[in-house]
Structure formats: structure tokens, C-alpha cells
Amino acid sequence: MGRLAGRVALVTGASRGIGRAVAKRFAAEGAEVVCVARTQGALEELDDEIAALGAGKAVLCPLDLREFDRIDQVAAALFERFGRLDVLVGNAGDIGGGLGPVGHYKPKHVAEAFDLNVIANWRLIRAFEPLLRASAAGRAMFVTSGAARAALPYWGIYAASKAALEAMVLSWAAEVERISPLRVNLIDPGVVATRMRAIAFPGEDPTSLVQPDQVAGTFVDLAEATCTRHGEIVRISS
């Protein structure tokens, strides 16, 4: 009996990095985890790793979150299967083709960053709020970045998309605060050894950084039915 025993959780970007670590930790704590990612092979490997834990289990969901209408289809399927969703983790993100001067970004990279970091998360909120509110203790959390508030050179597009995410999620938190037991937060994991970090800093030694499994515990804290934190940007210190 883990801290998330009996809870149904959905994690986006679950095939690698923080999403993978969170999906495995949730399963180890007894949750049934709907693992969303684009790469079927990586999801199957994750399924094997979760099965080896002998605790919770995985439901594999190959999905490109930029195919927005399919998010609605997944929500309908989960309603049919579970009738609710206890935990939503919006982790998948895009760095917009890498770092660069604001005026030099290609339009397609700007669109990709905003589509995944903002619009896809809005579609998740839109599709899954009814299922989260059907839970006795719904919990939602979205991964943000300190870049949203730091005005760093060359991070402009990624930072702008994360700032938009923060504004949207905090507004949603304020909307549901008095009408539902649903709790909504953002998580700023700090500097973590992920593929996105490697794109931004290709010469950096990833072994010198915090590893994804070292930040997964905070996600468990916010996913528990007993968690009362709400409307916060929860920062994980490195």
C-alpha cells in the first residue's frame, strides 16, 4: 500500500526525463499510471520497468499532444474505463528549437513551443477537468521553469510560453478553489539532467546535475489525496 494506492494518474511526456521518473515513482506508490508520449517503443520499455516494480501498473497511451482533438478522445476513453482521474501531470514541453535571439526564431519553432507548452496543456485542462472533479481528491500539476520569471537572454520564446502556462494554470486554480476539492499547482524542478537541458547546454556534463528521479518525490507530495497545497509555484531546490 503506497501513498498513491488506488489512484489513477495521467503523466504526459512519460517516455523520458522527468515524466518517466514521475510515472515510475507513481507506480511504485501504487497508482495506475496512464503514460502519454509520442514514442511507442519507449513506452513499452517503461511498461516493462513498471511491471518489474510489482506495485502499480501502466496504461500506455501513444499520443502527440499537438494532435489536440485526440486529447478529447483520450479523456472520453478514460471516463469509460475509470469514471474519474485523480492526478494530472502536464510535464511534456518543447524548447522551441533551442536557444537564440528572439528575432531569429523560425515561426515553426515558435508555434511548436506554444502549441505544446501552452495550447496542449489548455486542452488537457479542458478535457480532464470534469474527470478530476469526479475524483474525491483531484490533483493537477504542470511543469514550469524559472526562465519564465528570469528574463534570460536567448530564452525568450521558451520563457514566454512558460510564463503563459503559469498565468493560465494559476487562473484556473483561482477559479476552482471555492467550488471543488480539486487542487492545482505548478512545479519548477530547477536544473535537471533532461534532453531539453542537453539541447540548451550541449557541452554540459549531465552527471553533474540533479537527476530526474531526485525530483519525483515532490510530484508524489502534490498527488496525494491529503495534499492541501493549491495555486502555488512549487520550487524544488537543487
For 125-179, the pLDDT digits (tens) are 999 999 999 999 999 999 999 999 998 999 999 999 999 999 999 999 999 999 9
Active-site position among 114, 128, 158, 172? 158
Name the percent of the chain lying above pLDDT 90.
Answer: 88
Record: fold of 8-235: Rossmann fold (3.40.50)
d(CA 115, CA 95): 11
The answer to whether 154 is a known catalytic residue is no
Task: Report domain extents, the chain.
Answer: 8-235
Instruction: Note whether 150 and 190 are within 8 A (CB).
Output: no
Q: Mean pLDDT, to the nearest integer, of 204-223?
A: 94
Average pLDDT of span 71-98 = 96
- Collapsing DSSP to helix, strand or coil, 34 comes out as strand
pLDDT value of residue 238: 56
A 10 A CB-CB count for 235 gives 14
Residue 13, Ramachandran bin (φ over 0: left; ψ between -120 and 50: alpha; else beta): left
pTM: 0.95
179's grid cell: 467550488
Count of beta carbons in the 10 Å neighbourhood of residue 51: 13
Query: Which pLDDT tens digit goes with each residue over 7-45?
Result: 999 999 999 999 999 999 999 999 999 999 999 999 999
